[in-house]
Amino acid sequence: MTSSAESATTRTWEGLTIPTAGSYLLDQAHKRVGFMARHMMVSKVRGQFREAEATITVAENPLESSVSATIQAASIDTGQTDRDNHLRSGDFLESEKYPTLEFRSTGVKSHSGAEFVLDGELTIKDVTRPVELTVEFEGAGRSPYGQDIFGFTASTEIDREDFGLTWNVTLETGGVLVGRKIKIEIEGEAVRQS
């Protein structure tokens, strides 16, 4: 017979119902690793990376939790084949030479209610820079299939030129074809592994 402490899916921490400690993987069926960039100074282009994996370690002390993620550069998808091929090329991600983008958390900087600020390091094309993710904890529970899960959203903004992604075209009307600032938007569900 299993005690309720051993079978607990969630626990209460600072007024939140959070998952119990353990290792969780990003659910491939319930994830979006998206981004948004300015185009020609007048509109936004949105896209996503279709292939991404993440391991989230929820610690006994939630503020000591960590995450590591790997994104397949060639899986970029903006809904336009020519643009996607250009983004995979040497002008941008150079996905044949640098097949992955990597993220590793370095600590939880702060939190307020269900919002956490996570410090980490993002590597694109062998250039690693510090980034700060704002993470919104969306809830935890057990799925109808008996899996312990929790949901989250995360966002940050990076300057692509900091990672060596400097290709651009100056417009005759002023400005540039592709904005420097890239907003990263992640939505996901994580499933307990251990």
pLDDT band of residue 83 (cuts 50, 70, 90) is: confident
- What distance in Å separates the CA atoms of residue 12 and residue 155, rounded to the nearest whole number? 25
What pTM, to 2 d.p., does this model score? Answer: 0.88
pLDDT band of residue 4 (cuts 50, 70, 90) is: very low
CATH topology of domain 12-192: Lipocalin (2.40.128)
Q: Where are the domains of the chain?
A: 12-192
Q: What is the pLDDT of residues 136-159, one digit of tens each?
A: 999 999 999 899 999 999 999 999
**What is the C-alpha end-to-end distance of the chain, expressed in Å?**
19
CA 63 to chain centre: 18
- Write out the two tokens for 188: 């996901």
Q: Is the dihedral of CA 47, 44, 99, 151 positive or negative?
A: negative
- Write out the two tokens for 122: 């993002």
Check pLDDT > 60 for residue 119: yes
Q: Is the dihedral of CA 14, 108, 48, 76 positive or negative?
A: negative
Share of the chain above pLDDT 70, in %: 89
Phi, psi (degrees; rounded to nearest 5) at 169: -135, 130
* Among candidate residues 18, 5, 17, the one with its CA nearest the CA of residue 56: 18
